[in-house]
Structure 1
Amino acid sequence: MSISIDAEATGTVQATDPVRDLYADWSEIMATTPDLTMRLFRSIFDEWHQPTREPEAVSYKEDVVGGVPGIWAFPEGADRAKVLLYTHGGGFAVGSASSHRKLAGHVAKAVGVVTFVLDYRRAPEHPHPAQVEDGVAAFKALVDSGIHPHDITTVGDSAGGNLAIAIALALKEQGEPQPGQVIVFSPWLDMENKGETLITNDATDALISVPLLEGMIAGVLGDSVSPQNPLANPLYADFSGFPRLYITAGSVESLVDNATRLNALAEAAGVDVTLSIAEGQQHVYPFSAGNSEPADAELARIAGWYKY
Structure 2
Amino acid sequence: MPKEGNGIEIGRLKELIRARAKAGEGMSLEDRRKQMDGNANQFPVPEGVEIARADLEGLGGEWNIPAGAETAPVLLYFHGGGYVQGSSVSHRHLTSRLALAAKARVLSVDYALAPEAPFPAAVRDGVKAYRWLLDNGVEPKAIALGGDSAGGGLTVATLLAAREEGLPMPAAAIAISPWTDLTCDTGAYSSRADADPMIQQAGIKQTAALYLNGADARHPLASPNHADLTGLPPMLIHVGSDEVLFDDAANLCRKARDAGIDAELEEWEDMIHVWHAFYQLLPQGEEAIERLGNYLSARWKSRKT
User: Which TM-score bucket, shorter chain as reference?
Assistant: over 0.9
User: How many Å apart are 1:286 and its aligned residue?
Assistant: 0.2
Whether 1:131 and 2:122 are equivalent positions in the alignment is yes
Find the aligned partners of 2:65 and 2:108 in 1 and give their Cα distance: 11
Find the aligned partners of 1:45 and 1:206 in 2 and give their Cα distance: 17
Residues 118-197 of structure 1 aligned to structure 2 (within 5 Å): 118-197=109-188
Contact 1:197 1:257 in 2 (8 A): yes
Aligned residue type for 1:20: K
Of residues 84, 98, 106, the one that matches 2:89 is 98
Percent of pairs with identical residues: 33
Whether 1:70 and 2:61 are equivalent positions in the alignment is yes
User: How many Å apart are 1:260 and its aligned residue?
Assistant: 0.7
Could you tell me the TM-score, scaled by structure 1's length? 0.91
Of residues 227, 230, 247, the one that matches 1:240 is 230
Query: Structure 2, unaligned stretches of length 5 or more?
Result: 299-305
Find the aligned partners of 2:44 and 2:241 in 1 and give their Cα distance: 23
Query: Helix, strand or coil: the match of 2:174?
Result: strand
Q: Residue deviations 1:272-292, cap 9 Å, x none?
A: 111111111110000012332
User: How many Å apart are 1:149 and its aligned residue?
Assistant: 1.6
Find the aligned partners of 1:50 and 1:190 in 2 and give their Cα distance: 32
Counterparts in 2 of 1:172 and 1:136: CA distance versus 1, 3 Å: same
Aligned residue type for 1:95: G
Of residues 265, 273, 278, the one that matches 2:263 is 273
Whether 1:220 and 2:211 are equivalent positions in the alignment is yes
Q: Residue deviations 1:130-159, cap 9 Å, x none?
A: 001111111111111110122111110000
Counterparts in 2 of 1:48 and 1:209: CA distance versus 1, 3 Å: farther
Q: Residue deviations 1:60-109, cap 9 Å, x none?
A: 01121142101111111225241111111001001111000110011111
Aligned to 1:284: 274
Find the aligned partners of 2:22 and 2:38 in 1 and give their Cα distance: 15
Report the RMSD for the aligned CA atoms in angstroms: 1.7
Contact 1:51 1:288 in 2 (8 A): no
Contact 1:170 1:231 in 2 (8 A): yes
Of residues 296, 300, 303, the one that matches 2:293 is 303
Counterparts in 2 of 1:48 and 1:247: CA distance versus 1, 3 Å: farther
Of residues 22, 26, 33, the one that matches 1:28 is 22
Contact 1:19 1:285 in 2 (8 A): no
Aligned to 2:106: 115
| Number of equivalences | 298
